[in-house]
Chain A
Amino acid sequence: MARNVSTQAKVGFTIGAWVIALLLFSPILWTILTAFKTEGEAIANPPTFLPQHFTLENFGAVQDRSDYIKHVTNSILVSVGSTLLGLIIGIPAAWSMAFAPTKRTKDILMWMLSTKMMPAVGVLIPIYLIFRDLRLLDTVHGLTIIMTLINLPIIIWMLYTYFKEIPVDILEAARMDGAELWNEIVHVLVPMAVPGIASTLLLNVILAWNESFWTITLTSGRAGTLTAFISSFSSPQGLFLAKLSAASLLAIAPILLLGWFSQKQLVRGLTFGAVK
Chain B
Amino acid sequence: MKLTPFIVGALTIALASSASAETLTIATVNNGDMVRMQALSPAFTKATGIDLNWVVLEENTLRQNVTTDIATNGGQYDVMTIGTYEAPIWAKQDWLVPLDGLSADAAYDVNDILPAIRGGLSVDGKLYAAPFYGESSMVMYRKDLMEKAGLTMPDAPTWEFIGKAARAMTDRANDINGICLRGKAGWGENMAFLTAMSNSFGARWFDESWKPQFDQPEWKATLDTYLGLMTDAGPAGASSNGFNENLTLFQQGKCGMWIDATVAASFVIGKDSTVADKVGFALAPDNGLGKRGNWLWAWSLAIPKSSQHAEAAEKFINWATNKDYLATVASSEGWANVPPGTRTSLYANADYQAAAPFAKMTLDSINAADPTHPTVKPVPYVGVQFVAIPEFAGIATNVGQLFSAALAGQMSADDALKQAQDSTTRDMTRAGYIK
Contacts and interface: CB of A to CB of B under 8 A. Distances in A.
Interface stretch (A2-10, A169-177, A214-222): A214-222
B247 A220 contact: no
A155 interface: no
Given A85-B7, A124-B68, A220-B77, A140 B14 contact: yes
Contact of B15 (A128, A140, A186, A216): A140
Pairs A-B, 10 closest by C-beta atoms: A140-B14, A236-B30, A220-B76, A232-B56, A221-B55, A221-B53, A237-B32, A234-B58, A222-B18, A232-B30
A88 B3 CA distance: 8
B74 interface: yes
A222 B77 CA distance: 11
A217 B251 contact: no
Nearest to A78: B14
B244 A65 contact: no
14 contacts: A39-B272, A77-B10, A84-B6, A128-B74, A139-B14, A222-B18, A223-B14, A232-B30, A232-B58, A233-B30, A236-B32, A236-B35, A238-B247, A238-B272
Interface string B2-34: 011011001100110010000001010011100
Given A39-B272, A64-B39, A221-B25, A237 B72 contact: no
A74 B61 contact: no
Nearest to B59: A235
Contacts of B252: 43
Contact of B248 (A231, A232, A239): A239
Interface string B59-86: 1010011001100111111000000000
B56 A66 contact: yes
A231 B57 contact: yes
Contact of A128 (B1, B7, B72, B272): B72
Interface in B231-269: 242-244, 247-248, 251-252, 267
A140 B73 contact: no
A144 B244 contact: no
The size bracket of the interface on B is 35 or more
Given A65-B56, A139-B15, A237-B244, A88 B69 contact: no
A164 interface: no
A240 to B, nearest CB: 7
Given A128-B68, A186-B1, A237 B6 contact: no
B272 A239 contact: yes
Contacts of B4: 88
B247 A237 contact: yes
Nearest to B13: A77
B38 interface: yes
Contact of A77 (B11, B59, B68, B72): B11
Interface of B: 1, 3-4, 6-7, 10-11, 14-15, 18, 25, 27, 30-32, 35, 38-39, 53-59, 61, 64-65, 68-69, 72-77, 242-244, 247-248, 251-252, 267, 272
- Label chain A's interface by main secondary structure: helix
A65 B267 CA distance: 19
A233 B11 CA distance: 28
A125 B6 CA distance: 32
Given A132-B75, A236-B31, A239-B248, A141 B15 contact: yes
Contacts of A217: 64-65, 68
Most buried by A among B3, B7, B61, B252: B7
A79 B306 CA distance: 30
B55 A220 contact: yes
A216 B55 CA distance: 11
Nearest to B270: A238
Interface in A209-264: 216-217, 220-224, 228, 231-240
Most buried by A among B10, B18, B73, B252: B10
Given A88-B4, A144-B7, 17 more contacts: A64-B39, A87-B3, A128-B68, A132-B73, A132-B74, A140-B14, A140-B15, A220-B25, A221-B25, A231-B58, A232-B57, A235-B58, A236-B32, A237-B267, A238-B244, A238-B267, A239-B251
B55 A237 contact: no
Given A128-B68, A232-B30, A74 B74 contact: no
Interface of A: 39-40, 43, 64-66, 73-74, 77, 80-81, 84-85, 87-88, 124-125, 128-129, 132, 137-141, 144, 186, 190, 216-217, 220-224, 228, 231-240
A234 B244 CA distance: 11
Contacts of B75: 132, 137
A57 B104 CA distance: 44
Contacts of B247: 237-238
A84 B7 contact: yes
Contact of A81 (B10, B15, B54, B272): B10
A65 B69 contact: no
A240 B244 contact: yes
Given A216-B61, A236-B244, A125 B39 contact: no
Contacts of A73: 14
B275 to A, nearest CB: 13
A39 B272 CA distance: 9
Contacts of B3: 84, 87-88
B14 A236 contact: no
Contacts of A40: 272
